[in-house]
């Protein structure tokens, strides 16, 4: 009986291996090699933890670059089946695996931070809530998440490579009457970073001081543009939902030469089971109190992410309390819905009437044949709902004078697109992320759909009814 032999290709950093040869009753032999690899992928002062992983015969190029994706291989009947997040061909041509790994860990940490702050916020008086110039509430979580994400990106990818566009600045925190708020932010940031090893990132050697926290927040001062690479962060998207204990999101995207190349969307109150989405936050809190904290229940939340050109979008649960993050953390591929019948489709729209016309979207829904009640959800959770197949349409038509910010859309757009959906402005043109902080040149509004058929019908309806609108 003949059988092929395989060669172990060592990774760039090989910390040790043990080899065991097995024989069955027919004297057929195979070799199982245990390779000790660094895990997870980190840079700078980030830690490298060790894990023992089994290989049969082959170590991928992706593993040679010290990525922490699951590298298990199987060989059967001369065919190799790779149980990994990305295919070998994708790994060889990919330029963003390292950035995606770090970004997902950063968002996971940010969501954990937000959950702790939200639990405190909805159970105590809101002394931690401030008001920005546009009168939308801002909490300790906004600045704390911005500080944590800025710190992780800089430490793991090198501060010289990091440019960040983010919603918050340090002006409010730097005011003389903001000392209590600033102290809360510093305390929250240090508590989060102390938990960093659980996410595969080394914590700071000592707690960050006030000036250090202000410094890492102030690094997020990029203005974007058509060239170069920069990150876009919305630390707490849907702040009204956050302070009310409802839906919100942490959104992080990487833009290169004006195009979104990867996006990560953390949705701490969006359960893995979609049927819980429609329940009000009070019911969420009641059920969460009845649920053991270590259970794999719906209230865990989720993180969605995608890379440009992969044709795949993924969802993983939020890391549970006291568990270690192991990439890809039970990730599963998500797809947009296959429903193209408007009568069966669910459409999402913003909760707030201030920056979206509910009356116009209601008219469009009727003319297209959308019969279900709209799902009004705070934040980019609307993009997540379409990306994972829980809804089919998202429409937003802002009132005159309102300018859409790039951080409110970048991460969600790429997730829907890679999951198989379509996102454009109301004229059918792609959203332009190359003009700075805003989506300049936006034609009337934004339309996201699970498929081209629904998308085309809505575009036609907009054209037919726009002249009679008051927008």
Assess contact for 400 and 469: CB atoms under 8 A. no
Q: Tokens representing 263? A: 């996006």
pTM equals: 0.77
Say how far apart CA 446 and CA 462 lie, in whole Å: 11
Query: On the CB side of 387, how many CA atoms lie within 13 Å of its CA?
Result: 34
* pLDDT beyond 70 at 281: no
Strand partners, 36: 52
Q: Is 239 a catalytic residue?
A: yes
CA 413 centroid distance within chain: 11
Q: pLDDT-based confidence at 160, cuts 50/70/90? A: confident
Place of tokens 């543009």: 225
Give the CA distances from residue 341 to residues 1, 205, 238, 450, 455, in Å, rounded to whole numbers and listed in that order: 57, 57, 30, 11, 11
Q: Please give the pLDDT value at position 137.
A: 62
Assess contact for 409 and 431: CB atoms under 8 A. yes
**Among 227, 186, 192, 228, residue whose Cα is nearest residue 209:** 186
Assess contact for 447 and 425: CB atoms under 8 A. yes
**Among 59, 54, 72, 73, residue whose Cα is nearest residue 13:** 59
pLDDT-wise least confident of 39-48, 134-143, 211-220 = 39-48
SS3 content of the chain, % helix, strand, coil (to 5): 35, 20, 45
pLDDT-wise least confident of 16-20, 150-154, 389-393 = 16-20
Domains within the chain, CATH numbers bracketed: 97-334 (3.30.540.10), 342-467 (3.40.190.80)
Say how far apart CA 300 and CA 125 lie, in whole Å: 25
* pLDDT beyond 60 at 293: no
Q: Please give the pLDDT value at position 125.
A: 52
Identify the H or E element spanning 148: helix 140-157
Q: What's the average model confidence in pLDDT over 53-72?
A: 31
* pLDDT beyond 90 at 195: yes
Q: Please give the pLDDT value at position 244.
A: 83
Q: What's the average model confidence in pLDDT over 208-218?
A: 94
Say how far apart CA 106 and CA 100 lie, in whole Å: 10
Q: Where are the alpha helices (DSSP H) in 236-352?
A: 239-243, 281-290
The catalytic position among 139, 188, 239, 424 is 239
**Among 61, 58, 59, 55, residue whose Cα is nearest residue 91:** 61
Q: Please give the pLDDT value at position 119.
A: 81
Q: What's the average model confidence in pLDDT over 22-45?
A: 43
Q: What's the average model confidence in pLDDT over 117-142?
A: 69
The catalytic position among 142, 246, 390, 425 is 142
Torsion of Cα atoms, 459 then 462 then 467 then 470, to 10°: -140
* pLDDT beyond 60 at 228: yes
- In degrees, to the nearest 5, what angle opens at C-alpha 157 toward C-alphas 153 and 162? 65
Q: Please give the pLDDT value at position 131.
A: 62
- Binding positions are 167, 234, 237, 408
Identify the H or E element spanning 216: helix 210-218
pLDDT-wise least confident of 161-175, 298-312, 346-360 = 346-360
Cβ-proximal residues to 160 (8 Å cutoff; 6+ apart), any chain: none
Phi-psi region of 257 (alpha: psi -120 to 50; beta: other; left: phi over 0): left
Q: Is 223 a catalytic residue?
A: no
| Count of all residues that appear for the chain in the document | 471
- Binding positions for Mg(2+) are 167, 234, 237, 408
**Among 218, 161, 235, residue whose Cα is nearest residue 407:** 235
Q: What's the average model confidence in pLDDT over 441-449?
A: 93
Say how far apart CA 365 and CA 461 lie, in whole Å: 9
Assess contact for 145 and 250: CB atoms under 8 A. yes
Assess contact for 323 and 199: CB atoms under 8 A. no
Q: What's the average model confidence in pLDDT over 40-65?
A: 34
* pLDDT beyond 60 at 58: no
pLDDT-wise least confident of 137-141, 258-262, 301-305, 368-372 = 137-141
């Amino acid at each position: 009986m003949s059988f092929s032999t395989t060669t172990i290709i060592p990774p760039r950093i090989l910390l040790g291996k043990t080899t065991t040869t097995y024989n069955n009753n027919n004297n057929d032999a195979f070799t199982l090699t245990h390779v000790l690899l660094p895990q997870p992928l980190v840079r700078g002062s980030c830690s490298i933890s060790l894990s023992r992983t089994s290989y049969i015969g082959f170590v991928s190029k992706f593993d040679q670059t010290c990525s922490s994706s699951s590298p298990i291989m199987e060989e059967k009947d001369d065919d190799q089946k790779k149980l990994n997040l990305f295919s070998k061909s994708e790994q060889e041509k990919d330029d963003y695996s390292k950035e995606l790994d770090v970004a997902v860990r950063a968002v996971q940490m940010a969501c954990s931070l937000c959950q702790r702050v939200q639990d405190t916020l909805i159970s105590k008086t809101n002394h931690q809530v401030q008001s920005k110039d546009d009168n939308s509430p801002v909490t300790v979580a906004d600045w704390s998440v911005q500080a944590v994400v800025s710190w992780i990106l800089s430490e793991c990818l090198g501060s010289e490579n990091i440019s960040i566009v983010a919603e918050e600045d340090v002006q409010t925190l730097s005011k003389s009457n903001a000392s209590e708020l600033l102290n809360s932010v510093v305390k929250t940031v240090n508590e989060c970073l102390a938990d960093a090893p659980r996410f595969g990132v080394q914590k700071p050697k000592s707690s960050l001081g006030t000036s250090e926290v202000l410094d890492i927040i102030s690094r997020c001062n990029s203005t974007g543009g058509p060239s170069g690479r920069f990150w876009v962060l919305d630390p707490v998207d849907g702040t009204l939902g956050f302070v009310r204990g409802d839906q919100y999101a942490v959104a992080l995207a990487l833009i290169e030469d004006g195009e979104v190349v990867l996006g990560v969307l953390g949705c701490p109150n969006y359960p893995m089971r979609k049927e819980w989405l429609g329940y009000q936050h009070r019911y969420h809190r009641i059920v969460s109190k009845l649920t053991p904290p270590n259970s794999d229940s719906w209230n865990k939340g989720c993180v969605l992410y995608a890379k440009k050109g992969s044709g795949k979008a993924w969802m993983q649960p939020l890391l549970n309390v006291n568990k270690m993050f192991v990439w890809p953390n039970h990730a599963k591929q998500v797809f947009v819905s296959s429903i193209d019948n408007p009568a069966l489709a669910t459409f999402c729209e913003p909760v707030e009437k201030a920056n979206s016309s509910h009356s116009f979207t209601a008219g469009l829904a009727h003319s297209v044949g959308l019969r279900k009640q709209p799902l009004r959800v705070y934040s980019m959770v609307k993009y997540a709902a379409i990306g994972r197949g829980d809804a089919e349409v998202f429409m937003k038509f802002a009132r005159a004078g309102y300018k859409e910010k790039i951080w409110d859309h970048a991460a969600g757009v790429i997730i829907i697109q890679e999951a198989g959906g379509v996102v454009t402005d109301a004229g059918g043109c792609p959203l332009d992320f190359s003009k700075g902080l805003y989506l300049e040149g936006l034609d009337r509004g934004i339309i996201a759909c699970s498929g081209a058929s629904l998308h085309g019908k809505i575009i036609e309806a907009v054209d037919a009814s726009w002249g009679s609108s008051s927008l």
